[in-house]
Amino acid sequence: MKVAVVGATGLVGSEILTVLAERNFPVTELIPVASERSKGKEIEFKGKKYKVVTPAEAIALQPDVALFSAGGGTSTEYAPQFAEAGITVVDNSSAWRMDPTKKLVVPEVNGEVLSKEDKIIANPNCSTIQMVVVLQPLHAKYKIKRVVVSTYQSVTGTGVKAVNQLMDERAGKDGEKAYPYQIDLNVIPHIDVFQDNGYTKEEMKMIQETNKIMGDDSIRVTATTVRIPVMGGHSEAVNIEFENDFDLAQVRQLLAEQEGVIVVDDPANLQYPMPKDAHGKDEVLVGRIRRDESQDKTLNLWVVADNLRKGAATNAVQIAELLLKKRLI
């Protein structure tokens, strides 16, 4: 397969290349794509060097699939051009997620919605992906009424500038800032821009995307998203109210059987998921599984995943794998 990676020089783009290699995706020709200023740079993939090209040049090379991770502006401008040329696009930005004509896909949750007609497929927000993988089997069994989620998100979700800010602050150096406040030894309850309703855009993404992916607008979701001085993955405290009561042993079994989930839940031996444990992994880790004793039919979970892997690169590659398996590309 001829595979284009748009945004190949960025954090997520680099991770996509790593994931493609690790999962042995059948890349016969790689087309690394970036902006004009990166044109001609060399990218190494599986021991071979490839020159970075511009989006227009990539379209002319006619890849079978293009994995986009270059921001919403680039996706809005170029994804339709790739699609018009017959190239299937998997887009990691927020540009197409809530477009009613585009599918928003997490393969373990709603992969069945993909069809031959889908030329632009949206990859969900990182914090949404890890949550819905866990919610899916529980919703199928007990029917979810409401989800309350608080996130603890890695600086890697913002990008290289944020990682540099954290490292500079830790070293006591001045440098370029990604955040309006110090992030080292601090917590910032603000991800993306504030909306008129007092929520941030990140919080509204989690609310709206969950309903779209789960295919159920009756699930009520409220979110508080928080940036913390951590690298390796995002963490979430998730409180789930069901219509039907549940058995904790069965909950653990359902989660253990869910594709892409690893249960790490042994409080007696201090075993629970942490970002450093999720780093470099494709699976979603879940633990601290317990009843909410303040309300009937309600469950508490702690969910952790590598936001650059399952939260972005891996999910995009898994969508491409599913398209290939279903012979849609």
Q: What pLDDT, on the 0 to 100 scale, is given for residue 301?
A: 98
Q: Band of the pLDDT at 276, cuts 50, 70, 90?
A: very high
Kindly report, residue by residue over 66-87, the tens digit of the pLDDT.
999 998 999 999 999 999 999 9
Hey, which residues are catalytic here? 126, 234
* Alpha carbon distance 155, 63 (integer Å): 32
Average pLDDT over residues 102-120: 97
User: Which residue positions form the known binding site?
Assistant: 9-12, 37-38, 97, 153, 227, 307
Q: What pLDDT, on the 0 to 100 scale, is given for residue 36?
A: 87
Which residue shows structure tokens 């477009």?
Answer: 99
Q: What pLDDT, on the 0 to 100 scale, is given for residue 186?
A: 98
User: Which residue positions form the known binding site for substrate?
Assistant: 153, 227
Beta strand 88-91 with 65-68: parallel, antiparallel or unpaired? parallel
* Alpha carbon distance 297, 263 (integer Å): 21
Percent of the chain with pLDDT over 90: 97
Q: What phi and psi, each to the nearest 5 degrees, are found at residue 147?
A: -125, 130
- The residue ranges of DSSP E strands in the chain, in sequence order, are 2-6, 29-33, 42-45, 48-51, 65-68, 88-91, 103-104, 120-122, 144-152, 220-224, 234-242, 261-263, 284-291, 298-305
Check whether 262 has a pLDDT greater than 90.
yes
Provide the mean pLDDT of the chain: 97
Q: Residue 255 carries which side chain, given as an amino acid letter? A: L
Q: What pLDDT, on the 0 to 100 scale, is given for residue 11?
A: 87
Q: What predicted TM-score, i.e. pTM, was given to this entire model?
A: 0.95
206 to 68, 209, 213, 269, 316: CA distances (angstroms): 20, 5, 10, 32, 18
Q: What pLDDT, on the 0 to 100 scale, is given for residue 97?
A: 97
Question: Closest Cα partner for 313 from 4, 23, 19, 3?
Answer: 19
Check whether 201 has a pLDDT greater than 90.
yes
Task: Walk me through the domains of the chain, giving residue ranges and CATH numbers.
Answer: 2-123+312-325 (3.40.50.720), 127-307 (3.30.360.10)
User: Which residue positions form the known binding site for phosphate?
Assistant: 97
Average pLDDT over residues 117-131: 97
Question: Closest Cα partner for 223 from 241, 206, 198, 236?
Answer: 206
Check whether 209 has a pLDDT greater than 90.
yes
Q: Band of the pLDDT at 37, cuts 50, 70, 90?
A: confident
Q: What's CA 49's distance to the chain center, in Å?
A: 28
Q: Residue 223 carries which side chain, given as an amino acid letter? A: A
- The residue ranges of DSSP E strands in 166-305, in sequence order, are 220-224, 234-242, 261-263, 284-291, 298-305
* Alpha carbon distance 6, 32 (integer Å): 6
- The residue ranges of DSSP E strands in 7-139, in sequence order, are 29-33, 42-45, 48-51, 65-68, 88-91, 103-104, 120-122
Q: What pLDDT, on the 0 to 100 scale, is given for residue 299?
A: 98
Question: Closest Cα partner for 35 from 13, 59, 11, 7?
Answer: 7
Kindly report, residue by residue over 212-236, the tens digit of the pLDDT.
999 999 999 999 999 999 998 999 9
Beta strand 144-152 with 234-242: parallel, antiparallel or unpaired? antiparallel
* Alpha carbon distance 133, 179 (integer Å): 30
Q: What pLDDT, on the 0 to 100 scale, is given for residue 90?
A: 98
CA 16, 18, 22, 24 torsion-angle sign: positive
Average pLDDT over residues 106-128: 97
Q: What pLDDT, on the 0 to 100 scale, is given for residue 82?
A: 98
Q: Band of the pLDDT at 151, cuts 50, 70, 90?
A: very high
Decide: residue 147, CB within 10 A, 0-12 exposed, 13-18 middle, 19+ buried.
buried
